[in-house]
């Protein structure tokens, strides 16, 4: 009877050691697959930050261009007005 219990115990111990070894191997495989994914995510994050910065700069450029366009339009209008006054002076009665 003790011999049978000893055999069962050794089989269970062997299964435990086998499963422990298999768990370490699977964990190692998982880590090796996870490493490229982590690097890919980091690269995507860098690209997203870069694009976000470019978008912010683009928005700032649009705002600046609107301001410049407004000032330029005003200057062109004033120049045209001045030219009209110089070409066609007001008649005095």
Does 57 or 89 have the greater pLDDT score? 57
- Look at the block and give the residue holding tokens 């996870």: 34
Give the span between the Cα atoms of 68 and 58, in whole angstroms: 15
16-63 pLDDT, tens per residue? 999 999 999 999 999 999 999 999 999 999 999 999 999 998 989 999
What pLDDT was estimated at residue 88? 83
Residue 92's pLDDT band (boundaries 50, 70, 90)?
low
Q: Is the dihedral of CA 5, 7, 9, 12 positive or negative?
A: negative
Task: Identify the three-state secondary structure at position 93.
Answer: coil
- Is 90's pLDDT higher than 90? no
pLDDT of residue 93: 61
End-to-end CA distance of the chain: 137
């Amino acid at each position: 009877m003790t011999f049978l219990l000893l055999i069962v115990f050794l089989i269970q111990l062997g299964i435990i050691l086998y499963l422990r070894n298999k768990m370490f191997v699977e964990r190692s495989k998982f880590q090796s697959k996870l490493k490229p994914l982590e690097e890919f995510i980091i690269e995507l994050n860098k690209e997203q930050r870069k694009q976000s910065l470019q978008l912010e700069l683009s928005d700032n450029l649009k705002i600046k261009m609107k301001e410049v366009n407004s000032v330029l339009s005003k200057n062109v209008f004033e120049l045209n007005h001045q030219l009209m006054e110089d070409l066609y002076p007001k008649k005095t009665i």
